[in-house]
Amino acid sequence: MGQNMSNRPLSPHLQIWKWGPHMLVSILHRVAGDGMALVGLPILLWWLSALASGPEAYATFTDHAMSWYGIIVLVGISWAFFSHMCSGIRHFVLDMGAGYELDINRIFSIVSIGTAIVLTVAFWAGVMWL
């Protein structure tokens, strides 16, 4: 058994792969989706129940949402949404068979990350102006 094991090829692992923006986008896609599911959904349900429960419950929600930690959570959720959306568009293009060339894939990955940041900043600039 030991002799057969030594002839088998090793599975690729993190010491072999070179990190690139495409790997970062893939990881952020998963983190953003999990973040929206595990953090965003409970906050959405809390907001909806506070909205339905009356002015006192809604005031409690807005007190927490407009606090320093609430703003950080809401900005994080909005970034997760835009990041997941941009990465999803990237994956959609890849599923169509385009963008697999290394240079184009790298550029599209960087654009995906940058666009998510720009959209988050633009969204919050719009929220703060209203």
List binding-site positions.
84
List binding-site positions for heme.
84
Contact 25, 106 (CB under 8 A): no
State the burial class of residue 90 (Cβ atoms within 10 Å of its Cβ: 0-12, 13-18, 19+). Answer: buried
With vertex at residue 100, the alpha carbon angle to CA 15 and CA 11, rounded to the nearest 5 degrees, is: 30
Amino acid (1-letter code) at residue 22:
H
> Which tokens go with 2?
């030991």
DSSP state of 38: I
- Nearest Cα to Cα of residue 105 among 9, 22, 35, 49: 22
